[in-house]
Amino acid sequence: MSGRDTPSLLQEHLDLIYAQAQAEFPKECCGYIHGRGKTARVVQCKNRQDQLHAFDPELNPRTAENGYNIGGRELLDLTRSFESDDPATIIYHSHPRVGAYFSGEDTQAALASSLPVDYLVVDAQDDGVKGAILFRRQGDQYVEVERFGEPGGAREG
């Protein structure tokens, strides 16, 4: 994945993702961006983590307040996108009340899936969204490649 151009994240994409993070707070929101640039679209997904937790809390100790899971038809569509000319480029989720960082759990899940995407983590707080950070795989870790400011703001560089 190194050597790839940073996917273009349009302000309209960030606005949709930030709105979803606020609407689903204090639970994590999740979804992905299908394609690149002006033809890209945000695909908002349902976080199935609470369902998994209710089904087997021992195997799935996290709830939607501190974990996310894309499943069912949405996961199938995401996976099938890699067989197209315009695949998913970014998977995103929010971190309610803890800030935007790529956690150990995020790293394990991303490495296990080995999907050729970047990951956007949104900083969702009680008083609104504070920004987001885009991460990219380098070896067996994920490193920051771009920061985005609060809703309506510009990239931080």
Strand order in the sheet with 88-96: 41-45, 30-34, 88-96, 118-125, 128-138, 141-148
| Other CB atoms within 10 A of residue 105 CB | 12
pLDDT digits (tens, 9 = 90+) for 92-137: 999 999 999 999 999 999 999 999 999 999 999 999 999 999 999 9
- Tell me which CATH code domain 11-148 carries: 3.40.140.10
pTM of the prediction? 0.92
Q: How many residues does the chain have?
A: 157
Q: Which amino acid is at 17?
A: I
- The dihedrals phi and psi of 142, each to the nearest 5 degrees, come to -120, 130
| pLDDT 10s digits, 49-74 | 999 999 999 999 999 999 999 999 99
Read off the pLDDT of residues 29-50 as tens digits, 9 standing for 90 and up. Answer: 999 999 888 889 999 999 999 9
Looking at residue 150, its pLDDT comes to 85
Domain boundaries, the chain: 11-148
- Which residues fall within 8 angstroms of residue 131, CB to CB, at 6 or more apart? 100, 122, 123, 147, 148, 149, 150, 153, 156
